[in-house]
Amino acid sequence: MAPSLYLFLFLLIFNSGNRVASKSKVRSFPEGFLFGASTSAYQVEGGAFDDGKGLSIWDVTSHEKTSPIQDGSTGDVSANSYHFYKQDVEIMKDLGLDFYKFSISWPRILPDGFANNVNKAGIDYYNNLIDEMLNNSIKPFVTMYHWDLPQQLQKIGGWTNPYIADWFKDYASVLFENFGDRVKHWITINGPSEICYGGYGSDLLAPMLNMTGIADYACAKNVLLAHANAYHLYDEMFREHQNGTIGIALNFTWFEPTSDNPDDHQAARDARQFLFGQYAHPIFTKEGDFPEEFKRKIAGKSAEQSFKRSRLPELSATEVTAIRGSADFLGINSYTTKMVYRDASIEGMYPVPSYMDDMGVVIVKDSMWPQSQTDWLQEVPWGFYKMLREVNRLYDNPLVYITENGWSTAGGLLDEDRIRYLRNYLSALLDAIDAGCNVQGYSVWSMIDAFEWRDGYNAKFGLYEVDFSNEDRSRTPRKSAFIYKEIIKSKSLDPHYEPEVYLEEVPENEEKKDDYVYNK
Ligand SMILES: *[C@@H]1O[C@H](CO)[C@@H](O)[C@H](O)[C@H]1NC(C)=O
Ligand SMILES: *[C@@H]1O[C@H](CO)[C@@H](O)[C@H](O)[C@H]1NC(C)=O
Ligand SMILES: *[C@@H]1O[C@H](CO)[C@@H](O)[C@H](O)[C@H]1NC(C)=O
Ligand SMILES: *[C@@H]1O[C@H](CO)[C@@H](O)[C@H](O)[C@H]1NC(C)=O
């Protein structure tokens, strides 16, 4: 019997036991496990043109004449957290959060991107937010960069300009100096694959450069170096006095082969290497650098295509060393699973050259999986479990925080599908901890409804609903907020808990969807 078949049988037996347990039992979280909720600056702050803030690439993109945003909306006002941050802290307190993951807007702090001009009003805003949180015993979990690059830096190439590694270091220095006395959890960069592939390799996210196979790889190298610069700056200048931790948050979508065919297994491994190995391998493995196969694939294709060098820039020995080990923890943003395979149908499927052509896999959805309001997001908790096991295996069991996980709906307060999703993913997370994974915290995306990039306000991820049509942007807890609050309070997962406020509204006879199963 092939080893993979043993593994399959093992998972089947192991997990069928768990499945029964997860259905009926109340399961506890480990001592010290932290619960949080997440947002990002451009998505909730608003105040886009207030008090000296500079323009970001999202201010520019969302105001293009032909809007690339589904509903033609912008983040100009959004949930207006810039003015209503005290209401946000009330929500954090009400939920009983241990931490709140928010991001700092680079152009609100440095309007031109450079550290010669610091915007005092920007510093004041984040000081107020952080102090208000600390006064309510909420830990700030601060992301330095969540996609809103100063437009001034984009003019000179943004993340494809190698100098950005230094500019980011200067920005990080301003943040440590101003907030590091109170911030003990830093995330340098959120979602490099979205920044680089989404922003530079495609037209999915600002700046929508759409230069795939070239700009996305230049960006990847610079993001890694910028991250490492911030990490070493903290280590050398600030850690001794500020005593915090600093990591990075990566997208860990799970890719599952469509069959047991070795080609499909290889396709799944390749897809994982392109999505997260590209960033995790250089930081979290002993040998460092981009993964060997990833380098080989792109170099090979580049040569076939008559490029004089690989389209993936090399990391020098010094750069490999600087990046390797440059994180105290791994932040994981993970929402879903995709199926992949590889066969002859791939010929001519993707532009040449391109990131997708280099990866060389066909990505499909399984229509049996529950579908959210967002095209890319389906509920697949067993994929979350497998992803956590793989991270443990590949990266030597790093300290992990789940920095984003959540579900979108079209709106409404009675969000049973979000509740099912959160419970199933948290249960899978507990299974991963039982299996030895070092996961010490979990954060829901998102605390309140937000501007969801190209989806605008069409996709609602919030535990709290925001009324975007009302000037006061009133926030109302969804049913999932009451469920999450109870999970945090009891530090346990009770599949039968019903909040009192909602007891009467729950449809009695609604057919209960089965708990998740690990294998299709
Ligand atoms: C936080 O609490 C301290 C002491 O109680 C107080 O001096 C400070 O003004 C408070 N800060 C905010 C932002 O409310
Ligand atoms: C981006 O490039 C692809 C080909 O790689 C093309 O199909 C698409 O139309 C481009 N998008 C824009 C906005 O130009
Ligand atoms: C630094 O933080 C750790 C926990 O994160 C704590 O155990 C230690 O005592 C702190 N050290 C100083 C000097 O504050
Ligand atoms: C993560 O990556 C997947 C696969 O490329 C993509 O579909 C998804 O949109 C990304 N998720 C986020 C939150 O950016």
pLDDT tens per residue, range 456-484? 999 999 999 999 999 999 999 999 999 99
Q: Is the CB of 287 under 6 A from ligand 1?
A: no
| Ligand 2 atom at minimum distance from 208 CA | 13
Question: For residue 338, which atom of ligand 4 is closest to its CA?
Answer: 4
Counting ligands in written order, the one closest to the CA of 349 is 2
Atom of ligand 2 nearest to the CA of 212: 5
Q: Which ligand is nearest to the CA of 239?
A: 3
Question: Based on the structure, what is the number of domains in the chain?
Answer: 1
Q: Which ligand has its closest atom nearest to the C-alpha of 240?
A: 3
Helix (H, G, I), strand (E, B) or coil at 349: coil
> For ligand 1, is residue 519 a contact (CB within 6 Å)?
no
Q: Is residue 217 part of a domain?
A: yes
Nearest CA to ligand 4 atom 3: 253
CA of 251 to the centre of ligand 4 (A): 7
Q: Whose CA is nearest to atom 6 of ligand 1?
A: 135
> Which atom of ligand 2 is nearest the CA belonging to 202?
1
CA distance readout (Å), 81 to 184, 206, 321, 461, 476: 22, 22, 40, 16, 15
In a domain, 353, yes or no: yes
- With the most atoms of ligand 4 within 8 angstroms of its CB, the residue from 194, 203, 337 to mutate is 194
Verify whether ligand 1 is closer than 6 Å to residue 136 (CB atom): no
Ligand 4 contacts CB of residue 452 (under 6 A): no
Give the nearest ligand 1 atom to 132 CA: 13
Let me know: does 464 contact 478? Beta carbons within 8 Å: yes
- Residue 235 Cα to ligand 1 midpoint, Å, equals 30
Position 462 in a domain = yes
Tell me how far the alpha carbon of residue 202 lies from the centroid of ligand 4, in angstroms: 13
* Strands ordered across the beta sheet of 254-257: 254-257, 337-341, 362-364
Residue 140: the pLDDT is: 98
Residues 6+ apart with CB under 8 A from 43: 75, 78, 146, 446, 450, 451, 452, 453
CB atoms within 10 A of CB 33: 17
Q: Which of 92, 93, 129, 131 to mutate to test the pocket of ligand 1 (most atoms within 8 A of CB)?
A: 131
**Is the distance from CB of 366 to CB of 257 less than 8 angstroms?**
no
- Give 356 Cα–ligand 4 centroid separation in angstroms: 14
Q: Which residue has a Cα nearest atom 1 of ligand 1?
A: 135
**Cβ of 135 less than 6 Å from ligand 1:** yes
- List, in sequence order, every residue forming a beta bridge with 464; answer none if it has no partner: 448, 477
pLDDT in tens, the chain (520 residues): 344 444 444 444 444 434 434 457 899 999 999 999 999 999 999 999 999 999 999 999 999 999 999 999 999 999 999 999 999 999 999 999 999 999 999 999 999 999 999 999 999 999 999 999 999 999 999 999 999 999 999 999 999 999 999 999 999 999 999 999 999 999 999 999 999 999 999 999 999 999 999 999 999 999 999 999 999 999 999 999 999 999 999 999 999 999 999 999 999 999 999 999 999 999 999 999 999 999 999 999 999 999 999 999 999 999 999 999 999 999 999 999 999 999 999 999 999 999 999 999 999 999 999 999 999 999 999 999 999 999 999 999 999 999 999 999 999 999 999 999 999 999 999 999 999 999 999 999 999 999 999 999 999 999 999 999 999 999 999 999 999 999 999 999 999 999 987 755 544 444 444 443 333 2
Alpha carbons 257 and 274: distance in angstroms, whole number: 15
- Residues in Cβ contact with 228 at an 8 Å cutoff, skipping those fewer than 6 apart: 165, 283, 319, 322, 323, 326
Is 520 inside a domain boundary? no
Write the CATH number for 260.
3.20.20.80
Atom in ligand 1 nearest the alpha carbon of residue 135: 1
* Closest C-alpha residue for ligand 2 atom 5: 351
338 φ, ψ (degrees, to nearest 5): -125, 155
The residue type of 40 is S
Ligand nearest to the CA of 329: 3
> CA 320 to CA 314: how far, in whole Å?
9
Ligand 3 midpoint to CA 183 (Å): 13
In 3D space, the residue among 519, 416, 484, 428 whose CA is nearest the CA of residue 22 turns out to be 428
Residue 18 Cβ inside 6 Å of ligand 4? The answer reads no
| 353 upstream amide cis, omega within 30 of 0 | yes
* Residue 191 CA, closest ligand 4 atom number: 14
Q: Are 337 and 253 in contact (CB under 8 A)?
A: yes
Please tell me the distance between residue 140's alpha carbon and the centre of ligand 4 in angstroms: 25
Instruction: Determine whether the shortest distance from the Cβ of 191 to ligand 4 is under 6 A.
Output: yes
Structural domain boundaries, residue 19: 3-515
How many whole angstroms separate alpha carbon 497 and alpha carbon 15?
A: 23
